[in-house]
């Protein structure tokens, strides 16, 4: 048994990081669609088309449970994927929203890709759990590019991040959901900017809690696939997550455009 994990690029590695912590022996098959990153400005139809092929590929490689480690596809493609495949697929968005409601005293901020924010999925999931919560949702279209380049703390990045966080400050949010799996790599930088008063939520943590119910003894081989340039991906991965644990990282594109 192996856990399939996918994202547009390196962001899903923040979910791998949590799986490694919680279930160290678990075998993971990862796919990062680095050829097509970012997903955050793609249409729902395109996201469904891409993620459907990725999920089919991961199942064919032996994944018995899949984590959709991308908030954007969790928001826009997950209901379709769950209808299409019988393999269980866990998304990151609902666990993130639920965890934030538990942690917050009523004012939640969400930062995410444009497609995730435009879907209003975080806001509606939060309101389903607690209709009195005040939600401030901010699209941060430029952040993924920095993280894919391995830039987690340059002055230029901080300036952009600060401008995105302005509304979160103005609305006195007490809790901030990092609603894109790339962003937890920026947690230290975000913490420096927002200070101790705002609690950061990494949806990977409650998502991996759910995984526990699906795990069985694992025999499969571990492997990380990326659709884009292998060398570039490796460079960024060594900067942002050197203890990723994958012995085999290969360039392979299962998607037919």
Contacts with ligand DGL: how many residues (CB under 6 A)? 17
Q: Among 8, 133, 207, 227, which residue sits at the site for ligand DGL (rule: CB under 6 A)?
A: 8
180 binds ligand DGL (CB under 6 A): yes
- Write out the DSSP string of 45-87: HHHHHHHHHHHHHHHHTTEEEEEE--HHHHHHTHHHHHHH-SS
Residue 2 or 15 with smaller CB distance to ligand DGL: 15
* Cβ atoms of residues 139 and 163 within 8 Å: no
Which residue, among 179, 169, 142, 135, has the nearest Cα to 158 in the 3D structure?
142
Please identify which residue in the block is written with the tokens 């097509």. 36
Q: Which span sits near ligand DGL by CB under 6 A: 8-16, 98-106, 186-194, 243-251?
A: 8-16
Residue 210: CB minimum distance to ligand DGL, A: 17
User: Which residues belong to the active site?
Assistant: 70, 180
Q: 231 with 30: CB under 8 angstroms?
A: no
Among 34, 51, 104, 116, binds ligand DGL (CB under 6 A): 116
Contact 54, 4 (CB under 8 A): no
CB nearer ligand DGL, residue 12 or residue 168: 12
CB 147 within 8 A of CB 171: no
- Between 79 and 106, CB nearer to ligand DGL: 79
The only residue of 34, 104, 113, 189 in contact with ligand DGL, by rule CB under 6 A: 113
The rounded distance, in Å, linking the Cα atoms of 209 and 55 is 21
Angle 63-143-95 (CA atoms, 0-180°, nearest 5)? 45
Compare residues 133 and 181 and give the one whose CB is closer to ligand DGL: 181
Q: Order of strands, edge to edge, in the sheet holding 249-251?
A: 89-91, 63-68, 2-7, 28-32, 223-226, 249-251
- Binding of residue 18 to ligand DGL (CB under 6 A): no
Query: Does residue 7 bind ligand DGL (CB under 6 A)?
Result: yes
Please report whether residue 233 would count as binding ligand DGL according to CB under 6 A.
no
Q: How far is the CB of 3 from ligand DGL (least distance, A)?
A: 17
Residues making contact with ligand DGL (CB under 6 A): 7-9, 11, 37-40, 70-72, 113, 116, 144, 180-182
């Amino acid at each position: 048994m192996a856990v399939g994990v996918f994202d547009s690029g390196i962001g899903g590695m923040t979910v791998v990081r949590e799986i490694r912590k919680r279930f160290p022996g678990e075998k993971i098959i990862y796919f990062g669609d680095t050829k097509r990153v970012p997903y955050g400005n793609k249409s729902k139809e395109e996201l469904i088309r891409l993620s459907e092929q990725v999920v089919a590929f991961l199942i064919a490689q032996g994944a018995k449970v899949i984590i959709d480690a991308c908030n954007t596809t969790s928001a826009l493609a997950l209901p379709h994927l769950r209808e299409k495949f019988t393999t269980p697929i866990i998304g990151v968005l609902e666990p993130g929203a639920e965890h934030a409601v538990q942690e917050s005293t009523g004012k939640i901020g969400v930062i995410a890709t444009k497609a995730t924010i435009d879907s209003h999925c975080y806001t509606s999931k939060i309101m389903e759990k607690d209709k009195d919560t005040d939600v401030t949702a901010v699209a941060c279209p430029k952040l993924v590019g920095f993280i894919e380049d391995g830039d987690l703390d340059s002055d230029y990045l901080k300036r952009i991040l600060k401008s995105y966080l302005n509304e979160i400050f103005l609305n006195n949010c007490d809790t901030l959901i990092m609603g894109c799996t790339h962003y937890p790599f920026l947690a230290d930088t975000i913490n420096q900017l927002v200070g101790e008063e705002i609690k950061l939520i990494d949806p990977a943590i409650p998502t991996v809690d759910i995984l526990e119910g699906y795990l069985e003894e694992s025999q499969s081989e571990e492997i990380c696939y990326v659709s884009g340039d292998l060398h570039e991906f490796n460079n960024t991965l060594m900067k942002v997550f050197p203890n990723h644990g994958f012995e085999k990282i290969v360039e392979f594109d299962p998607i037919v455009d």
